[in-house]
Each structure stands twice: as C-alpha cells, then as structure tokens.
Amino acid sequence: MDSGASPRNHGFYARSGKRAVDLVVAACGLIALTPVFAIVACCIKVTSRGPILYRQTRMGRDGHPFTILKFRSMAARISRQDPAITVAGDPRVTAIGRLLRHYKVDELPQLWNVLRGDMSLVGPRPEVPIYLAQYTDEQRGVLSARPGITDPASLAYRHEEELLAMHAEPERFYRAQILPDKLARNLAYLSNISLRTDLRIILETVGSAFLGSKKDRDVPPVGITHTSSKSVSSV
C-alpha cells in the first residue's frame, strides 16, 4: 500500500507536525465545544427516540476498521437493508438531523476520533467496508493516511445528497462516478500535504457549512455531469 502519495514519504509536517496539530486542536475543540455538545445532545434526545451518538464501522489507516462517531441524525431503527448513502429528502433523517447535517454539526464528535488517533482533522473521508472491494491498487493509496473529518472531496461534494437525488439509482451513481472522483481528489491531496493546505481546507469547510456559496449549489464537481433522471426523495 506504500506509494508516493503516502504521508510517510513527506516532510516533517506530514510525518509528525500534522499529528501534533490534530491533538492540540481536537483537545481544545472538545473542551470549547462542550456547551454546544450539551445543547445538541438535549435536542436529539427530546425530539426522537434512540441514542445521542451514532456509531458506524469505517475503514481507517492501512485498512484497519474503527468506530466513527456522529451525532445521530436519523431515526434509530435502521435495518441492514437500508442503503449506505443518503439522498436529499431521505425519510430516515429526523427534523433536527437535517439541521445538524446541513451545518455539519453531526460530525463534531469525530474530534474524539481524532484525539484517539483513529482520524485526523484533514484527510480522506473514511468509507464503509463495502466500498473498499472496488478500490484499485492506486486508489487504496488513500488508506496510507489517517482518514479525516474533512477533505478536498468534502468541499467539492458539499451538496452530495442533492446530487444523488437527481439520479434514479443513486447507489450505482455513487460507486461509478462520485467515489472514483473523491478518491482521485484525495490522492492528489496526499501527494502534497502541508500545513497551509490543511488550514485552507479547514477554513473552507467551516465557511461552506455556515455560509455556503452560489457556486457550490449550481456547479457540479469536476468530472461529474448531471443526467436526466427522476428525483429520488426516499430510498
């Protein structure tokens, strides 16, 4: 799995500085955001039955599975037959969950994953195990680094749920078009890791979550073209 994209082949920041930044920011973030966590937890508990946190197995560095944490944004009763992806209008998403997902607040518990060493602030978003089987040897290069809370692909696909809802078979479209494009973007990121790049991605992630942009809404990501198919409001 070792390749030129691996951060282990890069300079000090990729090898050691990045982890130091992760530890400091994650620890400070968990402390500073404690009031936010408490408010969100109360809102989830009051508005729907089920646990506050959602736990799911994702694939981490070197293909090792780990448990990712999120604030629960869906109804608690999810069957194994339910799709792994979410499209706009998915009836499984709760009212408070839509708000949390829109502003990416549901991802904040992953600061704990960062502190534990499962994840990084910036790095390829971890996928569920079922998708790894289709990775090429080159694409598996994304597993050379800790997965992140955000990455270049997350910015490009800020409105992924809406894009998926435009296709009659969102799961197939995700596997055939979106996933390969995400992997390509993240491999490019891993080939040129720097503190400046990470700070830019973090700032753009926060900005897009709370401000958004007309460009994000109107222009599909590079390599993705809209096809004429009926909208999917539920799966």
Residue 2 lies in a domain: no
Residue 232 lies in a domain: no
99: confidence class by pLDDT, cuts 50, 70, 90:
very high
Angle between helices 34-47 and 18-32 (to 10 degrees): 60
90: confidence class by pLDDT, cuts 50, 70, 90:
confident
DSSP secondary structure letters along 51-92:
-SEEEEEEE-GGG-EEEEEEE--B-S---TTS-SS--TT-TT
Cβ atoms of 106 and 73 within 8 Å: the answer is yes
Q: Which domain holds residue 13?
A: 7-218
Return the pLDDT at 6. 64
Residue 234 lies in a domain: no
Residue 152 lies in a domain: yes
Q: If you average pLDDT over residues 67-75, what whole number do you get?
A: 96
- Classify burial at 190, counting beta carbons within 10 Å of its beta carbon; exposed 0-12, middle 13-18, buried 19 or more: buried
Q: Using the CB atoms, write b or e for 8-28: b if 16+ within 10 Å.
A: eebeebbeeebbebbeeebee
Element of type H or E holding 122: strand 120-122
CA distance 170 to 142: 23
To 5 degrees, how large is the angle CA 91–CA 224–CA 231? 30
153: confidence class by pLDDT, cuts 50, 70, 90:
very high
Residue 231 lies in a domain: no
Cβ atoms of 197 and 189 within 8 Å: the answer is yes
* DSSP three-state, residue 130: helix
84: confidence class by pLDDT, cuts 50, 70, 90:
confident
Residue 192 lies in a domain: yes
To 5 degrees, how large is the angle CA 83–CA 136–CA 54? 30
Cα first-last separation, the chain: 35
Residue 223 lies in a domain: no
Residue 71 lies in a domain: yes
**Of 122, 235, 93, which is closest to residue 185 (Cα–Cα)?**
122
Cα atoms in the 13 Å half-sphere on the side-chain side of 215: 5
pLDDT tens per residue across span 209-228: 887 654 444 445 544 544 33
Number of compact structural domains in the chain: 1
- Classify burial at 198, counting beta carbons within 10 Å of its beta carbon; exposed 0-12, middle 13-18, buried 19 or more: buried
